[in-house]
Amino acid sequence: MTALDRPLTSTLPRARPGRAWVGVLAGVLLVVLAATSLFVGVSDVSPVSVLTGGPDGDAAFLLVASRIPRTVAIVLVGASLGIAGLIMQMLVRNKFVEPGTTGVSEFATLGMLVTMVFLPGLPVVGKMGVAAAFGLFGTWVFLRVVRFVPVRQLVLVPLVGIMLGGVVGAVTTFFAYRLDLLQSLGQWSQGSFATIMAGRYEFLWIAGLMVVVAWVAADRFSVIGLGEEFATNLGLDYRRVVAVGMVVVAVITAAVLVTAGMIPFLGLVVPNVVSLVIGDNVRRSISWVAGLGAVLVLACDLVARTVRMPYEIPLSVVVGVVGAALFLWLLLRRRSRAR
């Protein structure tokens, strides 16, 4: 019995009582954090300075050219990575996977290295396409490997993905070091919104388009989370839906990588927290995952900007610390429930 054939109770849709107040709270937090993000930074950009023109007349320009694009990019990254993790968990039927724990991000980074070596003059959209192709291949490799892994515990599947990603990451680092591209690759892959401004974030709308695709196919992802045999008996084209899910995950990962870098743990912890609140139905939870992902990234970005002002901590560091703590809590919680 393989990982994709074995039914996992953690991925079966569960009904949860209505908790509308949680959704309202998340929406309010999203609006408040987004508004706060517009006016936090080294330069003096406040509602008063925007209305009066500021001391040099630059407040409105900075708001339009830097603060609004950065806030929009943060919301798009948080929503899209959360949904990518949700889809990945449905494809593998395991709650502890996301693009960062399945090797998809490492394959996409390898694609970035390939463009640096062989196509250095390629525009950003071309780099994103190559990274998406490598990410798609990495998703396919992971799904093929997991099929032949006898799974007895939920944590074994992400361990396999982490080992696969470690091997690919080691190969990428080796060639980047030998070709003196390690620093350039690190700048691309380090998760940070410090360089986001108008003209530098628009490719994230492609990730937003993939969110819409996932939203349309949400019911189908819920069905494939029950297993291939069950989905086929219901008349669903299992392989086609899996292919759509793979494309969505790969494109989102590539778009975020070439724009803001890698953000760890986001696609892992957000769907699990939402699952604890409303269950595993993708149609119900997809809006919650998008909203909570955006709230988490906005909050972490504000921390990254204010802790060492006027300097800025990379967002990936803050999200990594918070995400690791949440992941350990989820892991210990499931273990205690299993006992």
Token pair for residue 80?
């899209």
pLDDT, one tens digit per residue, over 185-207 is: 887 778 888 888 887 888 899 99
pLDDT for 157-189, tens place per residue?
A: 888 888 899 999 999 999 999 999 988 888 777
Q: What is the pLDDT of residues 237-280, one digit of tens each?
A: 888 999 999 999 999 999 998 888 889 889 999 999 998 888 77
Residues 6+ positions from 92 with CB-CB distance below 8 Å: 3, 4, 102, 142, 143, 146, 157
Sequence letter at residue 199:
G
Q: Tell me the C-alpha distance between 91 and 168, whole Å.
A: 21
Look up residue 231 and give its DSSP letter.
H
Residue in the structure block whose two tokens are 């944590």: 155
pTM of the model: 0.86
As given in the structure block, the two tokens for residue 69 are: 């694009």
Q: Could you tell me what percentage of the chain is helix, strand and coil, using 3-state DSSP and rounding each to the nearest 5?
A: 75, 0, 25
Burial (0-12, 13-18, 19+ Cβ within 10 Å), 247 = middle
Q: Are 301 and 193 in contact (CB under 8 A)?
A: yes
* Residue 6: pLDDT band with limits 50, 70, 90: very low
What stretch of H or E contains 9? none
Mean pLDDT of all residues belonging to the chain: 84
Beta bridge partners of 262: 190
Sketch out the chain's domains with CATH numbers. Answer: 68-333 (1.10.3470.10)
Amino acid at 236: L
- What pLDDT was estimated at residue 20? 67
Tokens 């999200």, located at residue: 319
Are 309 and 43 within 8 A, CB to CB?
no
CA torsion angle 187 191 193 195 (round to 10): 0
Q: What distances in angstroms separate CA 105 from CA 109, 132, 232, 314, 332, one per listed residue?
A: 6, 10, 30, 18, 26
List, for residues 70-113, the tens digit of each pLDDT value. 999 999 999 999 999 999 999 888 888 888 888 899 999 999 99
- Report the 10 Å Cβ neighbour count for 123: 9
The angle at the Cα of 77, spanning 297 to 180, to the nearest 5 degrees, equals 100
